Structures are given as C-alpha cells and as structure tokens.
Chain A
C-alpha cells in the first residue's frame, strides 16, 4: 500500500509541470533541497544536529561551476564528480567532526561552514565573491540542448534520482549500519560494548549525508544557473534542518515531503504576503511542539522516529 501511494505521488509530481510549466523550476529546487534535507535527517537519526550542511550543498554547486569552466561538459559526469566532491569534503570534515556530540557538534559544523562561507564570499579572484559563479548548461550524453529542454531533462532526472537514491538510502537506514544510528542516539556506550565502532558508524553516516547534500547542491546549481556564497550561509543550513524536521525524520519520504510542501507553499504564499519566514517559523514551532514526527509521521503506519 505505501508503495502504491509513493508511486502515485511521484507520478503526480512528474505530471504537474505538464499542467503548469512554471512549477517545473519550483519542483526541481524542492527535490534538490529534499536531497540535502535527507542528508541532515540521516544525522538527526543519531541525535546529531548539523547547522552546517549548506556547506556541502554549496561546495558541490561550486564544484560543478569550476569543473564546467575547466572543460567538463557532461551532465552525468558533472553530477557524479560533484557528489564525489561533496562526499570527499564530508569525509575530511567528518573525520574530526564526528568525535563531538550535541551542542558541540552543532557549533563545530556551524564554524566549518561559516569559514567556508566567508572564504567563498571573500576570495573574489577564485569564487567570484558575492556575485558567485555561473553554472552553464551542460550537454546530456553528448547532446547539446537548449536551456528549456535542459531544464526539463534536469527535472525528470532529479525525479528519477529521487526514487533511486531514496530507495538506496532506505536500504541503508534499514541495514544494521542504519539501525546503529538510532542506537547511538539511545545509548552510545551500549553500542561500544557490543563491539560496534561508533566512530565508524557516524563517519559513514556523515559521508552519506554530505554526498546527499552535494547531490542536492549540484541539482540546485544547474536549476538556478548560478552559485553564490549565500548557499552556504548558516540560515540556509538552518532551513535544511527545518525541512527535515517539518517533513519528519522517520523515513526517507519525509525529507522530500517537507521540501515539496515548503516550496509549493512558498510559491502560493508569495502571491499573498511578503512575510514568508514568519509563516515558516510558526509552522516549525507548531510542528516541533505538537507533531514531532513531522508530516511524514501522519502517514507512517509504523512507529516513526521523532526528534
């Protein structure tokens, strides 16, 4: 039954831009943010809150811009390389960050991401400063497309990736390695006594989450056509955590539900009011207080993980 609902939901998303073409950009961006929020949600399962994941989002988008400038001009190759880039940055940062817990983990992620942000904003010669870098339209398997055609390809590719990567992450979370994450949250010492290296469990989770954020960043870079330092600002990281929690961290669909819900609501709300953050802030507080399992928690049959 949940499979049918999920398939129907994906089908509806796939058909929406046919009915309303302007939705295509909104949905692509929502899926991109969904990937990054999924990365944050993986760490939240272990009770680790990262206010710095926008760094991987931005790093990968910058990687795309740099690689495109260096002559790499294929969508598939660019995506793979930039995700690997995100994972690599994640492995380096994660190797020392996963030693910390609770508020120290949050603060150190913030510190690392703000160093990255400030460097991106200030190294004008390399990163283009606050003007950012353009992300050109790449070829798709050697076929050079016009911008509208490319944006359609990008949308359906992201949608496909959402399903495939989503299933892969679901497998990961249901594996012993994934269950170890919740165990870290509950009782870390017990896990050590069982002979499971907590450090390795968390490092793998960190790299996975960085790669997911990287994938989202690359897609967002292509969709927007430009990458700016603000991608990595701490409020962007906060928004990723917000999406993850709003959607619910109990399952993989949560992050995407949260992202789609927020982006669609945003598109609807901007026609009425400017005070978008006001609405989101209140929604966040209400969700945390009254439905800690997020929107996904409303659908999930099983006991879903909450905060």
Chain B
C-alpha cells in the first residue's frame, strides 16, 4: 500500500504545486487591487504556450537543452512584463471601486478575449515538450520510480512561499505593498505611488501564473481549455486559503492535493470532484477561507 501511495502523493503534490502558482498570484492580486481577476487562468496558459514555443525552438535548433530551464523562467518574465502593465493600466484600473459584479464581468470579458487570442496565435493543437523533464531523469527509491522534475516543482512552490514572505516582510517594496493593502487612502496621502504598486503587484501575479503555466508544460503539455480549468482550480485554492493569504494558498493547495489522493484511493472516479468539494465544505464553514479574516458584510 505504501508503495502505491507515495508516488500518488508526489504526483498530487506536484500538480498542487502548479495550481499553487496560479492561486498565489490570484490571491496576491486580490489582496492589493481588491479585484478578482477571472482572466488569471488565461495568463497561466499563455505562460505555458510561450514556454513550450521557446523550448520547441531550442530543440529544433539543437541548442544546449539545459537552456530550456532558462526558457521556462524567461517566458514567465516576458508574459508578466508585457501583459501585466498592459492589462492593469488598460483595463483593470477602470474597475477599482466598482461593484464585484462589474469587476468579475470585465475580467470575464478579458478571459474570453485572451482565450481566443491564444487560439489565433497558437492554434488548437496541443503542445508537448518534455525536454526539461527528461533532462532531470528519475530517482528510484525502494523500487518506486520518481520523476525528479516533480520534486523540483514542489521545491519551486516552497521557494515561492518563502520568497514572497521575504519580499513582503523584509523589503521596501513589500512594506509599500503592505501599506497599500492595509489602508489605500492613508498610503496615498503619505505619498506612496499606489498606481505603481498596483502595476507591480499585478505584474507579479501575472508572473506567478505564467511561471506555473511554463512549469506545467513539460509534465502535462498544453491544450485549449487549460486556462478555464486552471482558473477554477486556482479559484478553489485561493478561496479555501482565504483570498489575500499567501500561506493560506499554500496550505490550501496541500489540502486540495491530499483530497485528490484520498479520492483516487477511495473513489477513483471522483478525483476531479475533490477540489471543488473541498472548496464547498471550507467555504460553507468559513466563507472567508481558512486564513481569511472576517470582513464586514457589505450592508
């Protein structure tokens, strides 16, 4: 039994790590901008498409295959640098202070646009490029074979949790972000350029989503519809953890990963139900999520 459950666990944790990248970006953007970005999943899949394209280019030119690791990171930076400021300045900033219905609808419109743009640019065939995964090879412990790439994914997720915490608690930028999150008006009145903070925070969120998508391509490939699937999973994880909570998102992706393992073990056909069921149960008991604080009902 233990022989079967450990690879399963690793597998679930690796996929949970990928969802975590999308969820933590979503949660970060929500806490700073107070906007729930429904198009976040599309940025995840755009990151994946760009990474896969660059990796395929590297493979076709027979360049050093280790460059593809750099390509994964580079594509996420590119997507963030292009789409982050563009979307925040061009669209999202018009929704500040508007009702949630307006914010959700505007970003849903953006989601539709981005989904079709991907279809136009990258076509409808699926991309598959697993050079980075093959390069890392496998580890065999006690007769069970593990993919090293999956361990890398989990390590990267942990790195992001620690990195974000360090960024927010111990850097000037982090303190500025905290100030804006705590009291936007007060931050503005003491001279913090909130517009700049919004751009930076949004782009950081886009970077994390695109990084998740880029890191996902070697394991699962990328196909149309990934953005929509990722969106709702990221949503579930962010909601379970409490919107705006970084560690909450990390814990929530662990919960979702474990829930899937449990589901695969007990009722294999229901593994896809597990994340949403977990989200429903947590939200019914604590609508503001595990780590979220009680916010006054808007009345």
Interface residues of A (CB under 8 A from B): 44, 47, 49, 51, 96, 100-104, 106-108, 110-112, 114-115, 118-119, 121-124, 187-189, 233-235, 238, 241-242, 245, 274-278, 280-285, 288-289, 292, 307
Please name the residue on chain A nearest to B117 by beta carbon.
A278
Q: Which of B145-153, B173-181, B203-211, B277-285 lies at the interface?
A: B277-285
- Cβ of A187 and Cβ of B299 under 8 Å apart? yes
Please name the residue on chain B nearest to A292 by beta carbon.
B102
In the assembled complex, which residues on chain B have CB atoms less than 8 Å from the CB atom of A307? 99, 101-102, 105
1/0 contact string of B102-143 vs chain A (CB within 8 Å): 101110111111011101100000000000000000000000
5 A-B residue contacts at CB 8 Å? A103-B36, A111-B239, A114-B279, A119-B273, A235-B228
- Cβ of A284 and Cβ of B235 under 8 Å apart? no
In the assembled complex, which residues on chain A have CB atoms less than 8 Å from the CB atom of B119? 274-275
Q: How far is the CA of A288 from the CA of B283 in the complex (A)?
A: 29
- Cβ of B276 and Cβ of A104 under 8 Å apart? no
In the assembled complex, which residues on chain B have CB atoms less than 8 Å from the CB atom of A111? 236, 239, 276, 279-280, 283
Given contact pairs A111-B239, A277-B113, A282-B113, A122 touches B102 in the complex (Cβ within 8 A): no
In the assembled complex, which residues on chain B have CB atoms less than 8 Å from the CB atom of A100? 287
Is B170's CB within 8 Å of the partner chain A? no
Knowing that A108-B283, A282-B109 are A-B contacts, what are 4 other residue pairs whose CB atoms are under 8 Å apart, sorted by A's residue number?
A106-B104, A107-B279, A111-B279, A275-B120
In the assembled complex, which residues on chain A have CB atoms less than 8 Å from the CB atom of B104? 49, 51, 106, 241
Is B91's CB within 8 Å of the partner chain A? yes
Q: How far is the CA of A242 from the CA of B119 in the complex (A)?
A: 21
Q: How far is the CA of A44 from the CA of B101 in the complex (A)?
A: 8
Q: How far is the CA of A283 from the CA of B117 in the complex (A)?
A: 15
Number of B residues with CB within 8 Å of any CB on chain A = 45
- Cβ of A103 and Cβ of B279 under 8 Å apart? no
* B231-286 with Cβ < 8 A to chain A: 231-232, 235-236, 239, 243, 269-273, 276-277, 279-280, 283-284
Total A-B Cβ pairs within 8 A: 130
- Cβ of B112 and Cβ of A277 under 8 Å apart? yes
B108 to chain A, nearest CB (A): 5
Given contact pairs A103-B36, A235-B228, A275-B119, A123 touches B112 in the complex (Cβ within 8 A): no
In the assembled complex, which residues on chain B have CB atoms less than 8 Å from the CB atom of A284? 105-106, 108-109, 112
Is B96's CB within 8 Å of the partner chain A? no
Is B196's CB within 8 Å of the partner chain A? no
Please name the residue on chain B nearest to A191 by beta carbon.
B299
Q: How far is the CA of A285 from the CA of B87 in the complex (A)?
A: 13
Is B288's CB within 8 Å of the partner chain A? yes
In the assembled complex, which residues on chain B have CB atoms less than 8 Å from the CB atom of A51? 104
Q: How far is the CA of A189 from the CA of B298 in the complex (A)?
A: 10
- Cβ of B269 and Cβ of A124 under 8 Å apart? yes
A269 to chain B, nearest CB (A): 12
Q: How far is the CA of A283 from the CA of B106 in the complex (A)?
A: 10
- Cβ of A101 and Cβ of B105 under 8 Å apart? no
Please name the residue on chain A nearest to B231 by beta carbon.
A234
In the assembled complex, which residues on chain B have CB atoms less than 8 Å from the CB atom of A242? 105, 108-109
* Cross-chain contact of B113 among A235, A241, A278 (Cβ < 8 A): A278
Q: How far is the CA of A123 from the CA of B232 in the complex (A)?
A: 20
In the A-B complex, the 8 residue pairs with the closest CB atoms = A281-B112, A284-B109, A281-B113, A278-B116, A49-B101, A277-B112, A285-B109, A118-B273
In the assembled complex, which residues on chain B have CB atoms less than 8 Å from the CB atom of A245? 105
* Cross-chain contact of A241 among B108, B110, B232 (Cβ < 8 A): B108
1/0 contact string of B79-106 vs chain A (CB within 8 Å): 0000000000001001000011110111
Given contact pairs A47-B99, A103-B100, A111-B276, A96 touches B113 in the complex (Cβ within 8 A): no
